[in-house]
Structures are given as C-alpha cells and as structure tokens.
Structure 1
Amino acid sequence: MSSVSPNADTNPDADTKVHLTEEKETLLATLYGRAVDSRAKKPILGDAMAAETVQRLDYDFGKLRMGPGDAAGVALRARQLDVWTARFLAAHEEATVIHLGCGLDTRVHRLDPGPGVRWYDIDYPEVIDLRRRLYPEREGYTTIPSSVTDPAWTDRLPSDRPAIIVAEGLLMYLTEEDGTALLRRLMAHVPGGELAFDAFSRFAIRTQWLNRVVVNAGATLHWGMDAAGVAALSPELEIVENISALEIPGMEKLPTGYRVAARLTAHIPGVRDMARMYRCRF
C-alpha cells in the first residue's frame, strides 16, 4: 500500500467547504482512511466514492497524518460492518437499516440494498447537510438531521419490520447513560433484529490521549464497555460475534510493519481488548 504525501488531498479547487468541530470532525479521518485505502494497489474496501468526496472537500486532510496502516485499519473495520449488514439484508429482504452517526460513510451506496430495504442515516444537522450536498438521493433512503440521542427522531422509523442497527466510531463518544438509553429505545421500537458496532474498553477511554484522531479533533471519549457491558444492554440481547480490532478478518492485508505490530500486541490482553467489534441479535 502506497503512502500519501502530506498535501495529497488538499485541493485548492474543492467546491465544498467543511466546518466541523470536536467529535464531528473525526468523521473526516474515517472518510480519508477509506479514500487512502481505495487508492492502494490492493484495496481492502475499495471505496472510490470516498476518494471522490475527499477531492470535493475544502479541508486539509494532510494534517490527519493518515498512514497506510491506519487507512487499512479503517477499511477493515468498515468492511466488517459491511459484511454483517449485507448478511442481515440477504436474510431479510424487507428490513430497516438504522445507521447511527453516519458521518460521510458511503455504506448505503457500497451495499446498494434492494427495493424492500428502508435505510436511515442519522447524524447532526450540519453533517446531514454536508451529505446532501455531496451524495445523491436514492429510493428507500432517508437522512435524519438530529443528534442520535434525541428520542424524537425514533418515531420516523418503521416499527413493523426487522432492523439492523449499525454504529461505527460512535458509541465511545456518548455517555453510558445516553448510549444505553439510545440502544434500548431502538431495540424496543422494532420487532427484532441485530446490532452491529465497534466499542472501546474502559482502558482505551482512560488512555484516549494516545488516540491521535481524537486529540487532533479536540474530541472526548466517554463510554467504555466490555462484553459484559454489552450483554447488560438488554436481557434479550445475544452476542453472536465478538472480534478484537487487532484480529479482524483480513489483517493479513496490512502492510508488514503494521501486521507484525498487530500480532504482537494482540497477545497483550489489555491492548487486544481496547477496541472490539460486536454483532448481536435481539
């Protein structure tokens, strides 16, 4: 995977200005990670739409210092959630996708769900406004401009079909109280389904000063959880898959140095469990 020069994605002719702060700005790092991956000789996710979007944004992506291994990690996490979402939709042709804190993710376009799927992307109004300027509309797709923790928007969702709730790079920014209330409210709204997300451990929250993306954005992490904390969200919740971020399928595609480092640190329990991915059934 090739490296990216510091100013590779600073486009003086970009047509869309970006004004995001704190945790909202972190969505640009994940967008950029997918863009860098898409330009690799052997991309993991191959999100060409992300690369096109980066070129349209008036933002200095070079300051993110996104290395090839960092980008590959972003792409692996996104691909795993894509796999879980696609699997759910294959089993439920008429389903709802509730994508929390969608940022500038292009998942709905990558997966291209069938006509029976109702897909909802939820994020802050300024983020949704940016999405609407950048991405095309499509049948069965709705954006909801709101903080995910505001209960009011839940009423806009169908309540008569199975749903998959997807949250990528979101829950750790919520308080435990707000996050728990959000997920319980959504699970109670639909007849059943799945919950797919990534989470940080309490140790990762305590050492967030080591997280370059969080520090650069001036954001703050709040909610750390382990498998027991996930299970406590609901007595009807069953953890089906629980994967360390250092052991996501496809890690062999990382650049050699990153791959070796991941293998070594995966043997340290506290480090191995700092970031995990969960697929749950309810």
Structure 2
Amino acid sequence: MPKVRLTGERATMLATLYGRALDARSPRPLLNDTMALDAVEQLDFDAAATGVRRGDHVTFALRGRHLDSWTREFLASHPAATVLHLGCGLDSRVYRVAPGPGVRWFDVDYPDVIDLRRQLYPPRDGYQMIASSVTDPAWLEDVPTGLPVLVVAEGLTMYLEEADGRALFRRIVDRFPHGQFIFDAFSTRGIKLQKINKIVRAAGATLRWGVDGCSDLESIAPGLRCASAVGALDIDGYDELGAGYRTLVRAARLLPFLRRMSVYYRLEF
C-alpha cells in the first residue's frame, strides 16, 4: 500500500479522489467513480487531513460529471483527436470516458503524481502519461500535432501563476490546428477568499489566478473564443440532491458573487 504524503497543490488531488470515493460509496452516486474508490482503498493517506467531510462529495462528483459530459461532446464530434488532461492528479477520466480508437489521450502531471498513477491504473490503448509540470514548455514537444485538441484542466488554473497559465494556453493554441479548452476557474474574489476554502487550507495550497469572465480569457491569444461560461451552482445535477442541499444551492444562487465565484469555461479556437 503506497504511502502518500503530499502538501500544497499536489495534496488537493487527494481531496478530489476521496470525495469521489465517498460519492461511489453513497446510496445514490452522482459520478459513481468506482476506480476512485479502489484507489483510496489501495493508498495509505490521512483522509481526515484532506478537509473533505460528509456531504462534500457532491461538489467533486458534479464537477467531474460536468467536465466528463463536455469531454464526451467534443469526442463525439471529433472521433480522431488529441486530449491533453492537464494536472490530471489521480483522476480516472480516461477510463470513465473510454475514448475511441482514434483518440490519443495524454495525462500530464508532476513526476511523483504520475508514479502513483502507474501503480494504481492499468495501461490502455491510445493512452500515455507524461511526467512533468504542466507549465514546463518541454513536455508539449512530445505530443504529436495535426489533430484537433481537447484540453481538460480540472481544479488546475487557480493554482497557476496567471502569466504561466496564459503562456501555457498560448503554446497550445499555437501548436494545434483547432480545438477546445474545458476547465473550471475561480474569480478574483474567490482567490481573495481562499482562507475560507477548507480544502485549500487543509492542503496548505495557495490560489493564484483569478478569472472574472470570458474577456479575461479571450485576450490570451488571437482566435480564442468563449463558447460557454457556466457557474458551478448552475450545472445539472442539483435537482438529484436532498431537499436541504437544494435549498442551500437556491439561496447561494441569489448572491451574484457566490454564483460567479467558480465557473466552468469552454473556449474554442
């Protein structure tokens, strides 16, 4: 059983993994990521130290389900494509989505994270792991070009320095003929309120890059267009929750700063 002792942004991947394992254990799972449950049972880490508590699994499950849905939409329209899953952590998205034979899928994360992935998850056709910081320009040279690209970045952008994140997006736009970025981002107010984010606080991580709307993102590179911007409180799935949780979400939607604090973006180029 591998011992996992991570701090900072790396530690937040354990919160995501544990949250999805809790969802898989629940009577009515929203994502039903059984591979996350298997992974948690194989790893030696302090689940209590992640900051995830009962009921928190909803956030992780709905976020994963929403981005899985956008991923499937893109691949349905582009059966021959390249997927770059940036800051993949211990996410089993490639297995949940199960892309077809025309898709080349690359999971990118720090070397110690990729080493853990290799111990937990099996190989599959068309799938490759890249051990690198996502902001290091060198790793992208190992990815073939020519096909449309889907860039998936879940729980990543807010941990990047803005200059590094914008440079990363530009490199990808310059390298591929066309494609999409799908990711979640925090507003600048969300960045300022990071001390009340118990997951971030428990990990000892720091949030850096705040995004306040499509114009912030479209300025990164010529031809980059914001196709969707959906608040985290407005995605599908909340109607499947209990009455108490639904009431909390309805109340939060009445506060504009909360409604736009975390947003899912889909950019096209």
Please state which band the TM-score falls in when normalised by the shorter chain.
Answer: over 0.9
Q: Percent identity?
A: 51
Q: 1:246 is matched with which residue? A: 233
Q: 1:125 is matched with which residue? A: 111
Q: 2:9 is matched with which residue? A: 23
Structure 2, unmatched stretches of 5+, are: none
Which among 214, 224, 230 is matched to residue 210 of structure 2? 224
Tell me which amino acid in the other structure corresponds to 1:198. Answer: D
Deviations 1:237-264 (A, max 9, x none): 2211111111111111233322211111
Distance, in Å, in 2 between the alignment partners of 1:40 and 1:65 is 18
| Bigger Cα displacement from structure 2, 49-58 vs 62-71 | 62-71
8 Å contact kept, 2:146–2:177: yes
Q: Secondary structure at the match of 2:233?
A: coil
| Bigger Cα displacement from structure 2, 129-138 vs 257-266 | 257-266
1:231 shift after superposition: 1.9
Q: 2:256 is matched with which residue? A: 269
Q: 1:138 is matched with which residue? A: 124
Q: 1:258 is matched with which residue? A: 245
Distance, in Å, in 2 between the alignment partners of 1:280 and 1:237 is 7
Alignment of 1:12-161 (within 5 A): 15-161=1-147
Q: 2:197 is matched with which residue? A: 211
Tell me which amino acid in the other structure corresponds to 2:252. Answer: T
8 Å contact kept, 1:68–1:255: no
- Superposed structure 1 runs of 4+ greater than 3 Å apart: none
Tell me which amino acid in the other structure corresponds to 2:190. Answer: A
Distance, in Å, in 1 between the alignment partners of 2:244 and 2:144 is 46
8 Å contact kept, 1:149–1:178: yes
Please say if 1:190 is aligned against 2:176. yes
Q: Secondary structure at the match of 1:58?
A: coil
Deviations 1:182-229 (A, max 9, x none): 011011111001110000000000010000011111110000002221
Q: 1:6 is matched with which residue? A: none
Structure 1, unmatched stretches of 5+, are: 1-14
1:152 shift after superposition: 0.2
1:68 shift after superposition: 4.2
Q: Secondary structure at the match of 2:234?
A: coil
Superposition CA RMSD, Å? 1.1
Q: Secondary structure at the match of 2:55?
A: helix
Distance, in Å, in 2 between the alignment partners of 1:79 and 1:205 is 24
Distance, in Å, in 1 between the alignment partners of 2:222 and 2:238 is 33
- TM-score normalised by the chain length of structure 1: 0.93
1:102 shift after superposition: 0.1
8 Å contact kept, 1:44–1:72: yes
8 Å contact kept, 2:36–2:92: yes
Distance, in Å, in 1 between the alignment partners of 2:236 and 2:8 is 31
Q: 2:220 is matched with which residue? A: 233
1:115 shift after superposition: 1.0
Tell me which amino acid in the other structure corresponds to 1:231. Answer: E
8 Å contact kept, 2:80–2:102: yes
Deviations 1:72-111 (A, max 9, x none): 1111111111001111111111100000000000000101
- TM-score normalised by the chain length of structure 2: 0.97
1:67 shift after superposition: 3.3
8 Å contact kept, 1:37–1:68: no
1:65 shift after superposition: 4.4
1:235 shift after superposition: 2.9
8 Å contact kept, 1:69–1:254: no
